[in-house]
Amino acid sequence: MLVHFVAWGVACGTAVAQMPLAIWARQKELLHAGPTGATVGLVRDAARNLALSPTEAAQLQIVLGFIAWGGAAILLAVHLAGLPWAIGAARAARRPELGAAAKKGLRIFGCACATIGSVVLLAGVAGWIWLYTL
């Protein structure tokens, strides 16, 4: 359960960090988005509540689609990083002499989360600096 909570926290941070990256990566699509509006119901409702034009709604959907895929990838990565810890803890629960495996799994999880979090933080800071200095 702790892995899941950490994964969602890292994924939310990733979503914020990805916003400038999404604008950079989808720049041509954003510039050539027509007044088609959003096709996804949740985005369409949000666009309507924000009184966005159909073109702005289409652009919002382009950016959110990019962010959703990145967030899903980070969720998966953090969950996978927690597997050694979960497996080690399950084995240690049955056989206490295997407690070192749980500790090793926790170290793997901690290092993976620190690495992922650092990369996300650095990329986010760089992206937001880029966006604000355009």
pTM of the model: 0.81
Q: What is the mean pLDDT of residues 26-39?
A: 89
pLDDT at 113: 93
What number of other Cβ atoms are within 10 A of residue 121's Cβ?
Answer: 13
pLDDT at 98: 78
Q: Give 77-81's long-range contacts (Cβ < 8 A, gap of 24+).
A: 77/112, 77/116, 78/3, 78/6, 78/7, 78/10, 78/11, 78/112, 78/113, 78/116, 79/3, 79/4, 79/7, 81/3, 81/108, 81/109, 81/112, 81/113, 81/116
pLDDT at 132: 92
pLDDT at 37: 85
Higher pLDDT, 98 or 45: 45
- Condensed to tens digits (0 to 9), the pLDDT of residues 56-79 reads 999 999 999 999 999 999 999 999
Range of the domain at 36: 2-132
Could you give the CA distance from residue 85 to residue 52 in angstroms, rounded to a whole number? 46
* Count: domains in the chain: 1
pLDDT at 1: 87
pLDDT at 72: 95
Which of the four pLDDT bands, split at 50, 70 and 90, describes residue 134?
A: confident
∠ CA 33-34-40, nearest 5°, is 80
pLDDT at 40: 86
Q: Which two tokens stand for residue 2?
A: 């702790």
- Condensed to tens digits (0 to 9), the pLDDT of residues 102-124 reads 889 999 999 999 999 999 999 99
pLDDT at 126: 95
